[in-house]
């Protein structure tokens, strides 16, 4: 099998990193890109599934000068947690209301 | 409502995305302000609800997780002691695996070692002993059926450890008692023991806790011009029942949009020339009509909450994994 890692930039820097998430797919990738690409600090953000039989995603995040890529990533995760908890809370409230009116 | 408020327009032959209405970037305050959940209906097995003000990325992730990552219980191993029926051992085992169980997966743990002895926290054991005899044939009302059907109601639950105090047959038994498993001729018998474990549908479809789950975008229909008389009747027939209503204005029938939600976006209306430029069909891009059809082990609203919990766990797992990655 051809080494797929070859074209991944091996130089790690504070501004540009490619994370690899094993056992993940579009479910996680699209969520992360959705939140992270909206940040003003982000220069570039995308993910790819290199090959359908490879069960991992390559997630690249590039940030603007003066930021640290890990910090921006961490903030993205915090934002996602906030969103998901809000969805959960709102849904629970809607269910309670619905069951109350039934 | 103008074209600008309807970013996804359904034309005769194409779907058009109008410029200036691309999906808005994420913003938490905006999201909290706009996000709404409306429950349309919710029963033990079916649920329809609206997610308004949500991005496709989130709606689709939820759907994907519900379909392939919410765990449930299913029969995984079968010990066959006797099978003289026409159904082959492996096919019989596969059929048994697909039988839905009532057990709530939240009360069980994932089995850590596949080959370990089943215990009360990770397994459920069932048994089936059945033999077709002449007497059984006589008992059948319809004598022309010469095979003795084996149904899921013939499966018995065997409590492991202290499961007897925790559950009843009603909690963990088979969901549905008329699932046909095999048919026996006189003298044939089946005797087997089944072991159910918790698993995720990514590994095997038998672990799915939903029949299916999907979303669609809210359709929006706008009449740009008054449509009267026979044309109004024709227009009404282009849509499912209840989408277009008719009212009588000075003795003339006039069509109006009654309920967009019922539309299935067939675009039948474009078959008729007289409606060109008189009607605007579009989709509301942040209004998702979400449907969950549960198999019965968990209520659909519980399945949705489980899915959210799984995504939260996934996201936090990703952070941990990202911080541990030193290379690249």
Look at B60 and A30 and tell me if their CB atoms are within 8 Å: yes
The predicted-structure confidence for B37-57, as pLDDT tens digits, reads as follows 999 999 999 999 999 999 999
Look at A33 and B305 and tell me if their CB atoms are within 8 Å: no
In this predicted structure, the answer to whether residue B145 has a pLDDT above a threshold of 50 is: yes
Closest Cβ–Cβ partner in A30, A35, A94 for B39: A94
Count of positions (residues) in chain A: 102
Look at A24 and B323 and tell me if their CB atoms are within 8 Å: no
Please, which pLDDT band fits residue B97 given cuts at 50, 70 and 90?
A: very high
pLDDT at B2: 47
Please, which pLDDT band fits residue B140 given cuts at 50, 70 and 90?
A: low
Please, which pLDDT band fits residue B16 given cuts at 50, 70 and 90?
A: confident
Domains of chain A, residue spans:
16-101
pLDDT at B141: 57
Chain B interface disruption, residue of A10, A16, A20, A31, most B CBs within 10 A? A31
Look at A94 and B308 and tell me if their CB atoms are within 8 Å: no
pLDDT at B6: 59
Q: Are B220 and B283 in contact (CB under 8 A)?
A: yes
In this predicted structure, the answer to whether residue B310 has a pLDDT above a threshold of 90 is: yes
Residue in chain B lying closest to A86 (CA) = B32
In this predicted structure, the answer to whether residue B65 has a pLDDT above a threshold of 60 is: yes
In this predicted structure, the answer to whether residue B142 has a pLDDT above a threshold of 70 is: no
Look at A81 and B314 and tell me if their CB atoms are within 8 Å: no
Interface check for A23 against chain B (CB to CB < 8 A): the answer is no
The predicted-structure confidence for B157-175, as pLDDT tens digits, reads as follows 999 988 999 999 888 999 9
Contacting residues of A for B323, CB less than 8 Å apart: 70, 74
The arithmetic mean of pLDDT across residues B173-199, rounded, is 92
Contacting residues of A for B308, CB less than 8 Å apart: 84, 87-88, 91
Please, which pLDDT band fits residue B20 given cuts at 50, 70 and 90?
A: low
SS3 A13: coil
**Average pLDDT over chain B, rounded to an integer:** 89
Q: Which of A5-19, B27-41, B87-101, B143-157 has the lowest mean pLDDT?
A: A5-19
* Angstrom distance (rounded) from CA B255 to CA B261: 17
The CATH number of A16-101, from 3.30.1360.10, 3.90.320.10, 3.40.50.1370, 3.40.50.2300, is 3.30.1360.10
Look at A27 and B69 and tell me if their CB atoms are within 8 Å: yes
Contacting residues of B for A98, CB less than 8 Å apart: 39, 42
Interface check for A88 against chain B (CB to CB < 8 A): the answer is yes
Q: Are B281 and B224 in contact (CB under 8 A)?
A: no
The predicted-structure confidence for B276-295, as pLDDT tens digits, reads as follows 889 999 998 889 999 999 99
Over its C-alpha atoms, chain A yields an Rg (Å, rounded) of 18
Please, which pLDDT band fits residue A101 given cuts at 50, 70 and 90?
A: confident
The predicted-structure confidence for B229-279, as pLDDT tens digits, reads as follows 999 999 999 999 999 999 998 989 999 999 999 999 899 999 999 998 899
| Structural domains of chain B in order of their starting residue, each with its CATH number | 72-208 (2.170.120.12)
Contacting residues of B for A92, CB less than 8 Å apart: 305
Chain B residues at the A interface, defined by Cβ less than 8 Å, are: 25-28, 31-32, 35-39, 42, 49, 54-55, 57-58, 60-61, 64-65, 69, 301, 304-305, 308-309, 311-312, 314-316, 318-319, 321-323, 325, 327-328
Please, which pLDDT band fits residue B1 given cuts at 50, 70 and 90?
A: very low
Residue that has been written with the tokens 């082959």 in this structure: B88
Look at A12 and B37 and tell me if their CB atoms are within 8 Å: no
Chain A nearest-CA distance from B86, in A, is 38
The arithmetic mean of pLDDT across residues B15-34, rounded, is 81
Closest C-alpha among B213, B220, B225, B235 to residue B301: B213
Beta-carbon contacts of B197 under 8 Å, excluding residues fewer than 6 positions away, are B73, B74, B76, B77, B110, B111, B118, B122, B123
* Angstrom distance (rounded) from CA B141 to CA B149: 13
SS3 B123: strand
Interface check for A64 against chain B (CB to CB < 8 A): the answer is no
ipTM for the whole complex = 0.88
Residue B163: phi and psi, rounded to 5, are -60, -25
């Amino acid at each position: 099998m051809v080494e797929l890692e070859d074209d991944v930039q091996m130089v790690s820097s504070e501004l540009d990193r490619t994370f690899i998430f094993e056992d993940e797919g579009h479910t996680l990738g699209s969520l992360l890109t959705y939140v992270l690409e909206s940040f003003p600090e982000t220069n570039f953000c995308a993910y790819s599934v290199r090959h359908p039989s490879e069960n991992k995603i390559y997630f690249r995040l590039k940030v603007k000068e003066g930021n640290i890529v890990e910090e921006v990533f961490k903030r993205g995760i915090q934002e996602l947690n906030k969103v998901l908890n809000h969805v959960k809370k709102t849904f629970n409230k809607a269910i309670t209301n619905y069951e109350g009116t039934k | 409502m103008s074209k600008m408020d309807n970013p996804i327009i359904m034309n005769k032959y194409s779907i058009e995305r109008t410029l200036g209405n691309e999906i808005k970037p994420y913003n938490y305050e905006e999201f909290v302000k706009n996000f709404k959940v409306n429950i349309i209906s919710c029963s033990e097995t079916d649920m329809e609800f609206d997610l308004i003000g949500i991005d496709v990325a989130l709606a689709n992730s939820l759907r994907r997780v519900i379909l392939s990552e919410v765990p449930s219980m299913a029969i995984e191993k079968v010990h066959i002691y006797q099978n003289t029926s026409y159904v082959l051992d492996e096919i019989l085992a596969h059929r048994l695996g697909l039988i839905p169980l009532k057990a709530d997966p939240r009360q069980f743990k994932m089995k850590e070692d596949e080959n370990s002895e089943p215990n009360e926290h990770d397994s459920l054991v069932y048994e089936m002993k059945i033999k077709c005899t002449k007497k059984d044939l006589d008992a059948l009302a319809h004598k022309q059926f010469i095979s003795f059907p084996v149904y899921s109601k013939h499966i018995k639950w065997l409590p492991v450890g202290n499961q007897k105090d925790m559950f009843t047959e009603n909690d963990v038994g088979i969901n549905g008692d008329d699932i046909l498993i095999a048919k026996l001729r006189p003298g044939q018998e089946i005797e087997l023991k089944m072991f159910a474990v918790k698993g995720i549908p990514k590994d095997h479809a038998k672990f799915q806790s939903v029949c299916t789950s999907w979303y669609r975008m809210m359709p929006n229909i706008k009449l740009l011009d008054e449509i009267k008389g026979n044309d109004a009747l024709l227009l009404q027939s282009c849509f499912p029942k209840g989408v277009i209503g008719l009212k009588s204005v000075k003795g003339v029938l006039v069509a109006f949009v009654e309920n967009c939600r019922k539309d299935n976006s067939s675009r039948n209306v474009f078959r008729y020339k007289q409606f060109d430029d008189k009607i605007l069909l579009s989709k509301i891009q942040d209004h998702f009509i979400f449907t969950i059809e549960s198999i019965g082990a968990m209520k659909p609203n519980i399945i949705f909450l489980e899915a959210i919990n799984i995504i939260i766990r996934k996201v936090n797992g990703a952070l941990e994994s990202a911080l541990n990655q030193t290379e690249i």
